[in-house]
Amino acid sequence: MSSWPALVVDLGGTNVRLGLVDGPDAEPRAITERLLADGGDFEQTIAEYLKGVGARVPAAALAVNGPVTEDEVKPSNSPWHFSISHLKRALGFDHLLVINDFHALALALPRLGAGDLAPLGGGKAQPEGTRVVLGPGTGLGVAALIRHRGAWVPVPSEAGQMSFAPLDEREARVAAILARSGRVTIERVVCGPGLLEIDHALAEIAGTTSTRTRPEEVAEGALAGDARGARALDMFFSALGSVAGDAALSFCATGGVFLAGGILPKLLIPLGASHFRTRFEDKAPLAELVRAIPTSVITRAYSGLFGAAQALAEDNEHS
């Protein structure tokens, strides 16, 4: 039974993106994107989309933020909880695959070309080496892609929930302020809302109060020359570099580290000028190993949808 055309969905903590693919290597089409805050629920959103495209869609691959371990899926940073079995019955799919969103992004990595990437720093990838993809959004996703017996095997994780490790006095003071409201995980710092928390903490350290309510305001302030915004953005990029270097070491990612998400492609110039790569390489006693690992930002739009299509194709092969 054919799985094409298939519905592919990328459910984040802020947005949901939906599209159709006509095969595993086809570009997603009929793409729509909406904010979760606009209301509704996951089933309703998919049903309305399918009604709008007006085509028989026998299969779907849903990439969602957070672990997928049982029928009831509760994404980490999303209010849209759902049952896989109920969704399949209600929407009439012959086949429904639900995976972690960075599982999907990992599967997209081998199909990315030079035009889909913006390099950051030096290093040279080993073609068969393990690759890591991570990205700040509403939270922080991390996954690896490992070569095993001639095939690429994705390894999703919840590494964003590991504890944050400050490396200088300013980071320690910010972490202490964040700790008042609970455990300081990596994604409390290295994500969109984390950038806003850094800004508010830096304001408190300076004896003032930040009036910013969105992370975009922090980045915009930094780009406009605001000193505190610039410090917040640099701390964000520095912490991202440390986390990316830790992930590279965790998986011995000689195939490269790839940064994903909607935040970083908009900030390529300040990211390139930041301490990101310095902190990435600051991994004594294995700094030489990490220095040889290339880092880059994924600039290809809707890579999560493309990766979901790869996951569905592979699932069909093994079913």
Q: Are residues 57 and 148 in the same domain?
A: no
**In Å, how far are 7, 12, 255, 266 from 301, measured between CA atoms?**
17, 15, 22, 12
Does residue 64 fall inside a structural domain? Answer: yes
Give CA–CA dist 168/174, Å, rounded.
10
Predicted structure pTM score: 0.93
Helix, strand, or coil here: 117?
Answer: strand
Token pair of 16 as six digits: 């949901």
Give CA–CA dist 305/30, Å, rounded.
12
Give CA–CA dist 8/180, Å, rounded.
40
Q: What are phi and psi of 214, to 5 degrees?
A: -135, 145
Does residue 27 fall inside a structural domain? Answer: yes
Does residue 218 fall inside a structural domain? Answer: yes
Give CA–CA dist 244/247, Å, rounded.
5
Digits of tens for pLDDT over the chain (319 positions)?
A: 567 899 999 998 888 999 999 987 788 999 999 988 887 889 999 999 999 998 889 999 999 988 898 899 988 777 888 999 999 999 999 999 999 999 999 999 999 998 999 999 889 999 999 999 999 988 999 999 999 988 999 999 999 999 999 999 999 999 999 999 999 999 999 999 999 999 999 999 999 999 999 999 999 999 999 999 999 999 999 999 999 999 999 999 999 999 998 889 999 999 999 999 999 999 999 999 999 999 999 999 999 999 999 999 888 766 5
Q: Are residues 135 and 71 in the same domain?
A: no
For residue 19, give its domain range.
6-101+302-318
Q: Give the CATH number, domain containing residue 15.
A: 3.30.420.40
Q: Are residues 272 and 156 in the same domain?
A: yes
Q: What is the pLDDT of residue 2?
A: 67
Q: Are residues 13 and 138 in the same domain?
A: no
Beta bridge partners of 9: 18, 62
Does residue 107 fall inside a structural domain? Answer: no
Residue 193, preceding peptide bond in cis (omega within 30° of 0) = no
Q: What is the pLDDT of residue 208?
A: 94
Beta pairing, strands 29-35 & 15-21: antiparallel
DSSP state of 116: G
Q: Are residues 161 and 258 in the same domain?
A: yes
Q: Are residues 203 and 282 in the same domain?
A: yes
Q: What is the pLDDT of residue 43?
A: 92
Helix, strand, or coil here: 290?
Answer: helix
Q: Are residues 222 and 252 in the same domain?
A: yes
Does residue 106 fall inside a structural domain? Answer: no
Q: What is the pLDDT of residue 319?
A: 59
Q: What is the domain count for the chain?
A: 2
Does residue 22 fall inside a structural domain? Answer: yes
Q: Are residues 219 and 280 in the same domain?
A: yes
Q: What is the pLDDT of residue 8?
A: 96
Instruction: Tell me, rounded to whole angstroms, the distance of Cα 159 from its chain centroid.
Output: 12
Q: Are residues 186 and 69 in the same domain?
A: no
Q: Are residues 47 and 178 in the same domain?
A: no
Q: Give the CATH number, domain containing residue 159.
A: 3.40.367.20
Does residue 1 fall inside a structural domain? Answer: no
Give CA–CA dist 235/175, Å, rounded.
12
8 Å CB contact between 170 and 164:
no
**In Å, how far are 87, 101, 244, 259, 266 from 95, measured between CA atoms?**
11, 18, 35, 31, 36
Q: Are residues 179 and 53 in the same domain?
A: no
Does residue 37 fall inside a structural domain? Answer: yes
Q: Are residues 167 and 198 in the same domain?
A: yes
